[in-house]
Structures are given as C-alpha cells and as structure tokens.
C-alpha cells in the first residue's frame, strides 16, 4: 500500500492526495550550491535502475514563468507581490506537474521547494507565519535534502562558475554597495533562514563543501530506503535486493543526522 | 510593510470601496460617487480588481486557456491585489487622497470560498491588506443581477464569472445562477464579520446614489482634504512677485 501524502496545512477540497504512488524528493540550498548538477546525476542514476523520474524547478510553470521573467526585468516587485508570484508559480506546478506525476508513480525531483520561498520571503520582510500559511497547500515531501554551505565558499564558487546576478545577490534590497557585498549579505541571510528551517522541517543536511562524488553518494544512500518501501517491488535490483528490514518510510526521512 | 495586518490605516487619506456580485450595479454607483467627489475638488484615485500591469495579462491568459484551478485563481488575484496595494492604494492614501476601489479582498473571500478555498487560509492570505474607511455592499437578488447582465450593458456571461470551472451546470446561465447565489450567501456572511455597509441594490440608481453620498459625507466629515494644490501654488508664486501668470499652452 502506498503511503498517503499530506498537505502542510489545510487540504484542497477538490484535490485528494490519496493513492499518490510516487515519491517526492526536494533538494534545497542557496543559489549556486550545485543543486541542478546533483539532480541531473540522480535522475540518470534512477532512470538506469528503471524508475520514472520527473524533475521540476523554480519558476518553470506554464502559467507564470513568463510573468516572473517580465516582473524581474521591470524591477517592480514589492515583497508581497514577489512572494505571491512565486507561490502562484509553485501552485501551478504542484497541480499540473507534481501531483499528476506522483499519481502515475514517478519519482519527482524538485529543484527547490517551498523552503526557498519561505527563506527568501522572510529575508525580504514577510512575516514567517504568514508565508508558512500561504504555502499550506503544498504537499509534504518524502525527503528534503539541504545542501549546506558557508557563504564565503559559496561566493567563490559562484564567481568561478556563472557569476553573480542581480536577484541572487538581493540587489533589490540595497544590502550592500556592490554585487559582492550584497551577495554575501543576502545569501548569508538566506542561509541563516535555511539553517533555522533544517530542524523545523527535518531536512537531511548534506555538507556541500565536500567533493561532488561524495555528495552524490550521500544523496543516493538516503533515497534508497524510501524507494525500497514503495508498494511495488522491482523485478531486478542488483545489490539492493535484500529484504527491506526498515519500517515504513518514515524511517527514511527521520533517520537523519 | 509596517502596516498592521488588517488593522485600520494610519494615513491621512480615505479608502472607500464597493462590493457585490456581478450585475449588482456597484461599478455604476462608484463612478457616480467619483463624479460627485471630483465636482467638489477632492483628489480621487480609482483602482479596480484584477487590473495590475504585473498579472492582468497572466490572469487573462489563464482564464482563456482554462488552466486556472481554484488555488491558482485565488493566488493570482491575491498577487494582483498585493501589487496594487503597494503601488496604487498605499501611496495615494499616504498623500491624503480619497481612494475609490471597485472590489477589494471581500470579493476573494466570497468567490474563492465558493470555489472551496478555506476561509481561514483566505483571511491569512490577505492579512497584509489595510482596513477600508468605508465598504459598501450592494445587495441584489440573483434574478435581478442575471436580467441586468443579460439585457444590459455586457450581454454575456463569462466562463469564470459564471463558475463554469466548478462544473455546476453545462448551461452558462444556470451555472452563473448557482455560482452567484453561493457567492451571495458568502457575502451575507461577510457583512457582519467586516461591518460592510449594505445598500439595497434593487432601488433606482439615483436613490441608491443619494444614500451612498449621504454616508460618504459622514465618513468625510473628519477628513481634511488635500485639495489639488499644484496649480494653485503656481498661481500664488506668480502673484507674490506681482507678475502676470505665464500663458498656458
């Protein structure tokens, strides 16, 4: 029997979560920490094993992606509109991508989940309680990874790769004189919010300063127990075929560090 | 961002709004009120539901392609409202103007509740809004609003306004009646909770307007109008130096 998914807050009366066979795995962490690289690798690894994988990422909804793009260019976002634009994008993806995929038994890998919104919105001055209640319609993931990094290492890494951009440096908040100062202040505040949530939402914390292979290894190790607990058994799974001795998949998410 | 959620606003301006189901005649009443206030030299700022540049186009597209669910419908309208509150409603209130709003958060409380969204969630969603100084609710029976809409100025019912997304009926008019009746019931609940001022919208237009103006006068009794001072200041400036005012183009 597949376990029933649940909403964070009040249920949507028109959208039942019963019988969602798939697994929802979210990967969180600040901008530039390497989430998408690891998601790609996880997808590859899971698909080789025969699992159906669907990935979903921030601002990728059909309804909102263009709107958000325009809004960012226009630089006309106040804290409330900012929060609600992203909430709408997330809602559209939840209802049109994530839940249908879970219903069909896919493993959904989410590049960022509501926690990114919670962190950024609080940093921009929204009330913690308010934004948590707004996102009450979100489905609780089976597993949330938090790729944790300190802001100094993060800054170096971002400069070396794609460079710092306006929004990821929180330039809209006038936190510092230049991109670098602003980036460090802004991402520092975001990281602080993530750290605060790590306990509140039982994140699986992964040290993102380690070499990529080690991180990927750690991610894979924690997905296995969750997939093992799925209702249907795989026909053939070399090395993983041993009996699932762990109790139903609460253990998977609670067996954290 | 320092405004207390849902609390009375501390600004010198006044916020007056109208609510009611489609076809209640609220927009007509608001435009008559605007005419009257402007004729008295008040500075007026007018804003209406679902009109922000930021999301108007998205909502239109979402409605057209029918991809909006009760949740995204609700969130999009809240985004629009947040954007207008910040960019359109708060600045004129701070500047001491009279803001006239065609629909406010009560529309969301009524409509979105009919679509099944939780009243508690909705109230939290809009808790950043400021409390109006005066909120009219134009109450009208469903038959009257339907006949007004079908015979009158618009002569068509829209998909979401008729609640067609809820599969209440395959017939547009029937669906509209069911949906708006439920909205009507929700509005009635809001009257007490938010102290809305009820106007009997089955009366003649001028009768309603007379009542509206009387109530508005009471609310404005304590209001110190900031008159349109720009032109006057200029005139005073030139008079001070005993010079003739420059020719206006």
As a whole-number percent, the residues of chain B with pLDDT over 90 amount to 70
What pLDDT does residue A2 have? 52
Condensed to tens digits (0 to 9), the pLDDT of residues A85-125 reads 999 999 999 999 999 999 999 999 999 999 999 999 999 99
- B176, pLDDT greater than 80: yes
User: Given CB atoms, is B181 within the 8 Å cutoff of chain A?
Assistant: no
CA-CA distance, A124 to B128, in Å (whole number)?
14
CA-CA distance, B42 to B38, in Å (whole number)?
5
* Residue located via tokens 């994008």: A89
How far away is chain A from the Cα of B62, in angstroms, using its nearest Cα?
7
* Residue located via tokens 């919670």: A118
CA-CA distance, B102 to B30, in Å (whole number)?
7
Strands A107-111 and B134-139: unpaired
- B232, pLDDT greater than 60: no
As a whole-number percent, the residues of chain A with pLDDT over 90 amount to 65
DSSP string for residues in A164-220: --TTTTTGGGT-SSSHHHHHHHHHHHHHHHHHHHHHHTT-EEEETTS-HHHHHHHHH
**Which is higher by pLDDT, B54 or A204?**
A204
Which among B70, B82, B125 is the nearest to A81, CB-wise? B82
**Which is higher by pLDDT, A128 or A249?**
A128
Query: Do the chains contact at A13 and B116, CB–CB below 8 Å?
Result: yes
How far away is chain A from the Cα of B117, in angstroms, using its nearest Cα?
7
Joined tokens for residue A12: 């949507």
User: Given CB atoms, is A75 within the 8 Å cutoff of chain B?
Assistant: no
Strands A204-207 and A143-148: parallel
Chain A contacts of B163, Cβ < 8 Å?
A: none
Q: Are A143 and A252 in contact (CB under 8 A)?
A: yes
What pLDDT does residue A4 have? 83
Query: Do the chains contact at B54 and A81, CB–CB below 8 Å?
Result: yes
- A237, pLDDT greater than 60: no
- B66, pLDDT greater than 70: yes
CA-CA distance, B127 to B2, in Å (whole number)?
13
Strands A107-111 and A53-57: parallel
**What phi and psi values does residue A27 have, to the nearest 5 degrees?**
-120, 120
The 8-class DSSP code of residue A7 comes to: B
Average pLDDT over residues B42-57: 91
- Reported confidence tier of residue B243, pLDDT bands at 50, 70, 90: low
Strands B14-19 and B98-102: parallel
Q: Per this entry, what is the length of chain B? A: 249
What pLDDT does residue A164 have? 87
What pLDDT does residue A49 have? 94
What pLDDT does residue A12 have? 95
Query: Do the chains contact at B67 and A63, CB–CB below 8 Å?
Result: yes
Chain A contacts of B50, Cβ < 8 Å?
A: none
Q: Are A165 and A223 in contact (CB under 8 A)?
A: no
Chain B contacts of A76, Cβ < 8 Å?
A: 54, 83, 87
How far away is chain A from the Cα of B110, in angstroms, using its nearest Cα?
16
Q: B119: buried, middle or exposed (CB in 10 Å: 19+, 13-18, 0-12)?
A: middle
* From B48-62, B116-130, B202-216, the region with the lowest mean pLDDT: B48-62
At A250 the three-state DSSP class reads: helix
Query: Of A67, A89, A126, which to mutate for an interface test with B (greatest number of B Cβ within 10 Å)?
Result: A67
Chain A contacts of B82, Cβ < 8 Å?
A: 78, 80-81, 83-84
**What phi and psi values does residue A129 have, to the nearest 5 degrees?**
-65, -40
Answer positive or negative: Cα dihedral of A55, A61, A65, A68.
negative
At A55 the three-state DSSP class reads: strand
Answer positive or negative: Cα dihedral of B101, B102, B107, B108.
negative
Chain B contacts of A59, Cβ < 8 Å?
A: none
Q: Are A186 and A169 in contact (CB under 8 A)?
A: yes
User: Given CB atoms, is A122 within the 8 Å cutoff of chain B?
Assistant: no
Joined tokens for residue B5: 């959620």
CA-CA distance, B143 to B166, in Å (whole number)?
21
How far away is chain B from the Cα of A41, in angstroms, using its nearest Cα?
32
Average pLDDT over residues B114-138: 96
**What phi and psi values does residue B65 have, to the nearest 5 degrees?**
-85, 0
**Which is higher by pLDDT, B243 or B102?**
B102
- B1, pLDDT greater than 50: no
What pLDDT does residue A72 have? 79
Query: Do the chains contact at B120 and A10, CB–CB below 8 Å?
Result: yes
Which among A71, A76, A88 is the nearest to B72, CB-wise? A88
Which among B5, B79, B121 is the nearest to A81, CB-wise? B79
Chain B contacts of A92, Cβ < 8 Å?
A: 67, 72
Chain A contacts of B69, Cβ < 8 Å?
A: 14-15, 91, 95
- A250, pLDDT greater than 70: no
Chain mean pLDDT for chain A: 87
- B153, pLDDT greater than 80: no
Chain B contacts of A98, Cβ < 8 Å?
A: none
What pLDDT does residue B238 have? 57
Average pLDDT over residues A151-180: 88
ipTM of the complex: 0.82
Which among B62, B82, B121 is the nearest to A9, CB-wise? B121
Chain mean pLDDT for chain B: 89
In sequence order, the β-bridge partners of residue B99 are B15, B45
Q: What is the CB neighbour count within 10 angstroms for residue B114?
A: 21
Q: What is the 3-state secondary structure (H, E, C) of A87-122?
A: HHHHHHHHHHHHHHHHHCCCEEEEECCHHHHHHHHH
- Reported confidence tier of residue B65, pLDDT bands at 50, 70, 90: confident
- A249, pLDDT greater than 60: no
Joined tokens for residue B114: 């009919």
CB proximity list for A35: less than 8 A, separation 6 or greater: A27, A28, A29, A111, A112, A147
């Amino acid at each position: 029997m597949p376990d029933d998914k649940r909403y964070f807050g009040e249920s949507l009366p028109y959208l039942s979560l019963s019988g969602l066979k798939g697994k929802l795995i979210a990967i969180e962490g600040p901008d530039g920490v390497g989430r998408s690289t690891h998601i790609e690798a996880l997808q590859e690894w899971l698909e080789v094993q025969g699992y159906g994988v669907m990935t979903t990422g921030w601002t990728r909804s059909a309804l909102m992606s263009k709107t958000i793009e325009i809004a960012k260019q226009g630089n006309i976002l106040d804290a409330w509109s900012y929060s609600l634009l992203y909430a709408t994008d997330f809602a559209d993806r939840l209802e049109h991508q994530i839940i249908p995929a879970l219903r069909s038994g896919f493993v959904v890998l989410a590049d960022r989940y509501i926690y990114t919104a919670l962190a950024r919105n609080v940093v921009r001055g929204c009330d913690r309680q308010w934004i948590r209640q707004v996102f009450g319609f979100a489905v609780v993931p089976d597993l949330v990874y938090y790729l944790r990094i300190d802001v100094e290492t993060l800054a170096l890494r971002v400069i070396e790769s794609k460079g710092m951009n306006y929004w990821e440096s929180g330039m809209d908040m006038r936190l510092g004189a230049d991109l670098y100062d602003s980036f460090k202040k802004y991402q520092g505040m975001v990281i602080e919010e993530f750290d605060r949530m790590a306990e509140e939402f039982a994140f699986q914390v992964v040290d993102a300063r380690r070499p990529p292979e080690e991180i990927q290894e750690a991610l894979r190790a924690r997905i296995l127990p969750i997939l093992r607990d799925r209702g249907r058994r795989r026909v053939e799974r070399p090395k993983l075929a041993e009996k699932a001795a762990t109790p139903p998949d609460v253990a998977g998410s609670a067996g954290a560090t | 961002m320092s405004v207390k959620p849902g609390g009375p606003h501390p600004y010198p301006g006044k916020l007056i709004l109208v609510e009611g189901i489609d076809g209640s005649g609220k927009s007509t009443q608001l435009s008559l009120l605007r005419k009257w206030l402007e004729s008295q030299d008040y500075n007026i700022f007018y804003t209406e539901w679902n009109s922000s540049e930021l999301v108007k186009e998205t909502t239109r597209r979402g409605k057209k392609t029918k991809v909006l669910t009760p949740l995204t419908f609700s969130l999009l309208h809240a985004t629009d409202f947040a954007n207008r509150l910040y960019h359109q409603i708060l600045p004129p209130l701070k500047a001491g103007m009279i803001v006239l709003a065609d629909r406010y958060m009560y529309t969301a409380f009524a409509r979105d509740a009919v679509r099944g969204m939780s009243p508690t969630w909705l109230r939290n969603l809009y808790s950043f809004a400021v409390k109006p100084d005066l909120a009219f609710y134009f109450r009208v029976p469903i038959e009257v609003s339907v006949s007004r809409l079908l015979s009158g100025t618009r002569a068509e019912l829209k998909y979401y306004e008729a609640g067609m997304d809820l599969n209440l009926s395959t017939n547009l008019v029937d669906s509209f009646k069911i949906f708006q009746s439920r909205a009507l019931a929700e509005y009635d609940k809001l009257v007490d909770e938010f102290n809305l001022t009820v106007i009997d919208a089955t009366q003649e237009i001028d009768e309603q307007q007379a009542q509206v103006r009387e109530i508005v006068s009471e609310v404005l009794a304590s209001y110190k109008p900031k008159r349109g001072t720009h032109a006057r200041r200029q005139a005073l400036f030139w008079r001070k130096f005993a010079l003739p005012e420059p020719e206006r183009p």
